[in-house]
Amino acid sequence: MATRSQTAAVLLAGALALAACGSGGTPQASTASGGGKTLVIDTSFDLKTADPGRTYEPTGLIVGKAVYETLLTFDGADVTKPVPALAESYELSGDGKTLTLKLKKGATFADGSPVTADDVVFSLTRVRDMKGTPSFLLDGVEVAKTDDSTITLTSKTANPALPYILPNPALGIINSKVAKEHGATADPQDKAEQYLNSNSAGSGPYLIDSFNVSSQVVLKANPKYYGTKPTYDKVVIRNVEAATQKLNVQRGDSQVALNLSSDQVAGMPATLQIKKTASANVIFLLANQDPGVSKTTSNPKFAEAVRKGVDYQGLLELAGEGATQSPGIIPSQLLGALDPAQAPKRDVEGAKAALAASGVSNPTVKLEYPSELTVNGLSFQPLAERVQANLKEVGITVDLQPAPITTALDNYRNGKEELGLWYWGPDYPDPSDYLAFLPGKTVGLRAGWKAGADKAVEAAGEKAAAAIGDDARKQAYAEMQTALNATGPFVPLIQPSQNIVTAASVTGLEYHPVWTVDVADLGAK
């Protein structure tokens, strides 16, 4: 199971957001020179490329969603059910191994040529075989054209997550003829990226007007778009630090600010719209299960003491309005999330009893976390300090060990942290992405939890992985998380708030856990 560089790109994005490049001193007009509407969006860039087969960074996914279309998509913010996009219908076989999609008629690329089954096969094969960041999305998936309007995706094992993976903008369909003319080869020698960074080979509602990975991206409406025309003729996405984002949206230099903390939005004027919703990022604690790393944290009763000793409501108050407690490791937006009523509650006496039962008296443990990392504007430092104070009341002394992101990341990846404070953002909005928390899997190993360590949890995970159909999967993943919560080394804490501020004129904004915001959905009053 890949981890979206949820270890590299995504974490570094939060920690190393670039300085403001969009000057607040030059107001942006709300209408373009030709009379059309212009939308200015301020965000902290995490951007490497506009090539859909290579992009996997949050800002790149915003751009990719606007310029390229995928076979399937989601309706607004609802990620519990994929819906048709370039495909008019899809069907998953009973064994979960074969996904059949029928292409819609009339879809055209930016040059006016039709979107064909051959374009789909080339595009998806290219993502898989270039071995770029998003290639893992289609690992083990064979892509074939059955006829001129039918595509078949075949997996060696049951893959019910595939319909939830296909909406990712990294799987946008490109004009294969144009891409091949500019170096696309669907293998690691592919050289089309430079062309795709300044030109549009998609069927989406927008085209790339200009592209700079450190300052701004300008999109213009696609005059040949076959679908509903977008409201804004021009969209400017600027790289701006959070403090300047706040100033810009307040004085009308921008219409959207994407990266403000709960504290920053607290004093916004009533003339602005503030959308507060729980992000899909889950912040969690891990207690290392490897006795070679820590004889204390590997004691199952110690993990129980931590789980019962944390003041979840206090952490929520610290995180601010819009944040929510995460009852399990799967965030609230996804299929299979636990009901909020199942969230653990603080039990100081129960925590003290568990610690006493562990046989470890007055333990001191190190809590490691990235010092400069913020997630949705929330710093890890105050969270760590609050956990430290909570566990002190239980009888556990926590020695805070903040470290630069690269150092902390190495220790986390290599399973060397005694206690760790981290977060997980979904690689794709499907609960199968959280099988990584099982013993012997990616995140499980980071907690020193080896295969065979917990037969009950592993059995629940195997059942969830094999489940087919929404109802069966929902139940199986809920059971897996219940088992994880009972005996696992992870303590899910909170989903911090995603705060998006917009001008009063902007309509239709919905936060999306994959592409943050769909600019083509935005309207104007």
* Tokens (6 digits) for 69: 């279309």
The HSE-up count of residue 491 (CA atoms within 13 Å, CB side) is 26
Separation CA 433–CA 6 (nearest Å): 12
Separation CA 244–CA 255 (nearest Å): 13
Of 13, 3, 7, 2, the residue nearest 516 (C-alpha): 13
**Total Cβ atoms within 10 A of residue 241:** 16
Helix (H) or strand (E) holding 381: helix 380-392
Separation CA 165–CA 431 (nearest Å): 11
Separation CA 316–CA 29 (nearest Å): 39
Of 77, 107, 106, 102, the residue nearest 87 (C-alpha): 102
Give the pLDDT confidence of 327-342 residue by residue, as tens digits. 999 999 999 999 999 9
Identity of the residue numbered 44: S
* Tokens (6 digits) for 107: 């879809």
* Tokens (6 digits) for 238: 């600027």
Separation CA 169–CA 185 (nearest Å): 20
**Angle (CA) 326 328 334, round 5°:** 80
Give the pLDDT confidence of 296-308 residue by residue, as tens digits. 999 999 999 999 9
Dihedral angle over CA of 442, 414, 492, 353, nearest 10: 120
* Tokens (6 digits) for 405: 């992101």
Strand, helix or coil for residue 67: helix
Q: Report in angstroms the alpha-carbon separations of 497 from 114, 280, 329, 423.
A: 41, 9, 16, 13
Strand, helix or coil for residue 451: coil
**Res. 36 pLDDT band, cuts 50 70 90:** confident
**Angle (CA) 243 247 249, round 5°:** 115
Residue 32 has pLDDT above 50, yes or no: no
For residue 131, what is the DSSP state?
A: T
For residue 27, what is the DSSP state?
A: P
Strand, helix or coil for residue 238: strand
Q: Report in angstroms the alpha-carbon separations of 357 from 31, 177, 360, 415.
A: 68, 67, 8, 26
* Tokens (6 digits) for 443: 């995140």
* Tokens (6 digits) for 240: 């701006």
Burial class of residue 263, CB neighbours in 10 A (0-12, 13-18, 19+): exposed
- Counting every residue written for the chain, the total comes to 525
Q: Which residue has the tokens 């100081």?
A: 348
Percent of the chain past pLDDT 70, that is, above it, reads: 93
pLDDT value at residue 153: 98
Give the pLDDT confidence of 431-447 residue by residue, as tens digits. 999 999 999 999 999 99
Helix (H) or strand (E) holding 475: helix 470-487
Residue 143 has pLDDT above 50, yes or no: yes
Beta-carbon contacts of residue 254 (< 8 Å; ≥ 6 apart): 22, 28, 40, 41, 42, 238, 240, 245, 248
Q: What is the mean pLDDT of residues 286-303?
A: 97
Give the pLDDT confidence of 308-317 residue by residue, as tens digits. 999 999 999 9
Residue 28 has pLDDT above 70, yes or no: no
Identify the structural domains of the chain with CATH numbers, from first to last.
9-275+499-524 (3.40.190.10), 282-495 (3.10.105.10)
**Total Cβ atoms within 10 A of residue 156:** 10
* Tokens (6 digits) for 226: 């076959």
Separation CA 173–CA 498 (nearest Å): 29
Give the pLDDT confidence of 155-199 residue by residue, as tens digits. 999 999 999 999 999 999 999 999 999 999 989 999 999 999 999
Separation CA 462–CA 291 (nearest Å): 26
Residue 66 has pLDDT above 80, yes or no: yes
150-155 and 98-103 beta bridge pairing? antiparallel
pLDDT value at residue 16: 33
Backbone angles phi, psi at 403, to 5 degrees: -145, 155
Q: What is the mean pLDDT of residues 409-417?
A: 95
Separation CA 389–CA 392 (nearest Å): 5
Residue 6 has pLDDT above 90, yes or no: no
Separation CA 90–CA 82 (nearest Å): 10
* Tokens (6 digits) for 472: 């069966």
Residue 4 has pLDDT above 80, yes or no: no
Identity of the residue numbered 449: W
C-beta of residue 488 within 8 angstroms of C-beta of residue 454 = yes
Q: What is the DSSP string of 127-191?
A: HHHHT-GGGGGGTTEEEEEEETTEEEEEESS--TTHHHHTTSGGG----HHHHHHTT--SSTT--
**Res. 498 pLDDT band, cuts 50 70 90:** very high
pLDDT value at residue 186: 87
Helix (H) or strand (E) holding 84: strand 78-84
